[in-house]
Amino acid sequence: MPGPERRRRLHMVSQQQLKELRPAIDSALSASAEALTALQHRDGYWCAELLADSTLESDYVLLQLWLHPPVDGVWAPPSQKRVEKACKSILDRQLADGGWNIYPQGPSEINATVRAYTALKLGGHSTTAPYMLKALERTLALGGLQACNSYTKINFSLFDLFPKKYAPSVPPEIVMLPADVLYEMSSWSRAIVVPLSIVQAIGLPRSAPEGFNVDELYKPNVKLKLPSRGRLGVLFSHLDKALKLWERKGFKNVRMAALREAEHWMLDRTRYADGLGAIYPSMMYLIMALDSLNYAEDHPDRIAAIKVFEDLIIETEDRFQFQPCYSPIWDTSYAAFALGEIGNADQAAMRKSADWMLDRECRRKGDWSVKRPGLEPSGWAFEFANEHYPDIDDTAQVLLALMHAKASDPARQERVERRAVNWLLGMQSRDGGWAAFDVDCDWKLLDKVPFADHNAMLDPSCPDITGRVLEALTRRGLTMEHPAIQRGVQFLLEHQEDNGSWYGRWGVNYVYGTFLAVRGLESSHAPAARPAMARAVEWVKSVQNADGGWGESCASYPKGRFISAESTASQTAWGLLTLAACGDKSSDSVARGVRYLLDTQKPSGDWDENLATGTGFPGVFYLTYKMYRHYFPILALTTMRT
């Protein structure tokens, strides 16, 4: 049968299949919408668990060692039970080969394994236990402690478990550098390095228990050295040595002034926020910094810092797990948008969500205003309260949600929406794209500093956020006549991969980036985007799994290319939404993807999803959003129904 005729017949079969599936789609949407609505908090928001890997629990044990060191091997009462529970949580996630991974079904990873082993040893687990021996064997096979990143080495150096000589220095003088160098770093790096610089600079002795060390984790015959990132990295290594000399022999009055400035910077950003940056690493270092600065145990700032940090713990009798942060704005905006797209959402529930979101508009100038001093504050953060760090991605998604969710005060909603649109327009970077928190945060020189190996020193424009912003702005009435839309479209066209996909910075990975890029292009109605979207269709179809779904591994990041994984509900939804945005709602790929979602939906109305499909730091830290399995399938099935 000739190719065109065969394709025509397949198209007709697929159309018939989808027509026959319409009642099942309606039934699935009814069940999933009911399940999602039932999860709404009485205050109007949605917020599900946000989970990561075992390194959070491992670092928590180190924090307890900092705050409540054991005496004669016995932990103080405030820490004993929680250290035991943290160690159990860590041990429960050990892999068969003895190591620990950084995403579900991923391979053992050196940093997670070293930190887990150390936490267990601190928690009293015998190094001769079979599971500890396997962990040690796996650590050495992965390169030993020498192969760990700067984050691990710096943490260990604070307890004399790693030589300070080979741990990168983070000087507090960074807050005093001219030309606002601090603000060339990503917002999360800023929030981490400032309190860490205080801890390093004061250098209070925090030795591990007497006789405790992790010398067995060092791989034999591998020299210790400062990390070096390329040819410029050698220069920075020499600079690091100079900084260490400065720490010993520099002007004390300059160091004290830098410490005061860093302290003020840090505390200023805890106001109107649930902790510094409202994320785990910076909140942990804040506690350590306040302790280093001799803030008394009953000081309000120290009490507040510990409380918001420990609020991130999910704790029951048989469970102890940290969340890296909360995700209420993200979950609420996506849930409201998904329910609104169905067309028959519970209006009372939608109104409560709109009122709740409006109450959380950021109205104070944050770090972003250093580069945009004249821009009126607006936008939304990711967490419950993080006034200094509204982010562009959440702001765009809230604007999409507010198209359906109507607040109790329409005039107020109109004012908020207008400010948010203007803020998004003002946060466009020079390259035409949008980043997460800042503009033009792409000074690549900073990627070469010794402590930049967490792969997130910068916050450059990315296709996934740019696509979402384009969709939000164009659905608000902006067209290709607007220069911002023209530049955003051009950014996406220039950043398409050779195979037709787009890189996803904040979701795993190419399936996520492609889904958002094509939605932005489709909303723009840019004629020049059609060839790019056609290539995206072919790529998405080419990576569909045999079961009809889509799945992509976190391994795509270090490999630099798409790596297939078992199908997930969220990634299947992204694949379907990509096809729909490109005008394909009736192909065989669509029919198979829809059937996958229908066949795997649970009686409760949602879907199982065990893999990490969210991204914190590519190649380093991944996220499992427990609500992705709810709202993304709703969006996909709703789109295929229309």
Count CB atoms within 10 A of the CB of residue 71: 10
d(CA 73, CA 164): 25
DSSP conformation letters of 559-598: HTS--EEEEEHHHHHHHHHHHHHTT-SSSHHHHHHHHHHH
d(CA 329, CA 374): 26
The CA-to-CA distance between both ends of the chain, in Å, stands at 32
CA torsion sign for 341, 346, 350, 353 is: negative
Count CB atoms within 10 A of the CB of residue 365: 15
Dihedral through CA 595, CA 599, CA 602, CA 606, nearest 10? -20
Scanning 42-102, the segments in alpha helix (DSSP H) are 55-67, 77-92
- By the 10 Å C-beta count (0-12 exposed, 13-18 middle, 19+ buried), 614 is classed as buried
Report yes or no: 607 and 597 within 8 Å, Cβ to Cβ: yes
Report yes or no: 504 and 615 within 8 Å, Cβ to Cβ: yes
d(CA 560, CA 118): 31
Supply 15's token pair: 């159309």
Report yes or no: 538 and 500 within 8 Å, Cβ to Cβ: yes
Point out which residues pair with 391 in neighbouring strands.
380
Q: Tell me the one-letter amino acid at 295.
A: Y
Dihedral through CA 576, CA 577, CA 580, CA 584, nearest 10? -30
- By the 10 Å C-beta count (0-12 exposed, 13-18 middle, 19+ buried), 608 is classed as exposed
Strands 614-617 and 564-568: unpaired
Chain centroid to Cα 69, Å, comes to 31
E-strand ranges in 192-239 read none
Catalytic residue among 393, 442, 453, 464: 393
Dihedral through CA 76, CA 78, CA 79, CA 80, nearest 10? 70
Angle at 518 between CA 10 and CA 600, to 5 degrees: 55
Which residues are CB-neighbours of 264 under 8 A, at least 6 positions away? none
d(CA 455, CA 441): 14
Supply 122's token pair: 């601190």
Known catalytic membership, residue 92? no
Strands 313-316 and 564-568: unpaired
Q: Provide the annotated active-site residues.
A: 393
